[in-house]
Amino acid sequence: MKKQAIGVFDSGLGGLTILSALRRQLPHEDLIYFGDTANVPYGSKSKETVTRFSLDIARFLEKQGVKLIVVACNTASALALAQLRKVCKVPVMGVIEPGAAKAAKVSKTGKIAVLGTEATVRSKAYVKALLKKRPTANIIQQPCPLFVPLVEENWTRTRAAREIAASYLKPVLKAKADTVILGCTHYPVLKPVLSKIAGPRVQLVDSADTVAQAVSAFLQQHKQQETTGKGTLTVYASDDPHRFKRLAACLLSDPIGKVHLKNLTK
């Protein structure tokens, strides 16, 4: 199974932060990325809808012969991971547990904030994961529904982005959280803005590198990690691949090559 690819999916562009970390951590692995741009954002949708989208994508990735699926979407990890693990024939990893574990470890005061989509916040998935690692943690959740559209429209460097970020961070800073989890894979793109508003005393935690390390450890444990050759990357989008590639070039330093259109409803 070493030569089989790793499948990665997200509601849109956000999962590219996970993909980038995987490429750095596992340069010999073939990767297949699926961005569900036809249905972004997931964060305002129901559990049933997110689960249906996630299962459709997982089935497609399994048909490509992947050895592992990484759910590079916090909303899908929160709402659909359990069902994906029941249905899929290959292992499935989410992004919430690695991110929560890192935040629980680095927080000095135990005051931890979670920025997430409305669906992720409602699920309390991060709260549960944090309390498992740090039972005495004081957790505040803050839904940030406008962050995903800002990233998807490449508006992260605008005045509107700064004002929206300041508004979302106001209750977090008032609660004196010393650690803030960026609980959506889109949010690390806003890291420069968030860091400036939060200040140097607040640690921003995103799960990209932590997830990549967890994937590496899993593959090593199961003797499935590829250690030779240069890994390939295949990218699919469910809508407008040209726009996806253009925006990806604005967000990432590494080129992603051709983006293939794949509409799973047909």
State the catalytic residues: 73, 184
CA 7, CA 149: separation in Å to the nearest integer?
24
CB 15 within 8 A of CB 42: no
Residue 86: how many CB atoms within 10 A of its CB?
9
Would you give the DSSP letter of residue 46? -
CA dist list (Å): 70 to 102, 119, 174? 18, 19, 35
CB 148 within 8 A of CB 106: no
What is the enclosing helix (H) or strand (E) of 138?
strand 138-143
CB 53 within 8 A of CB 42: yes
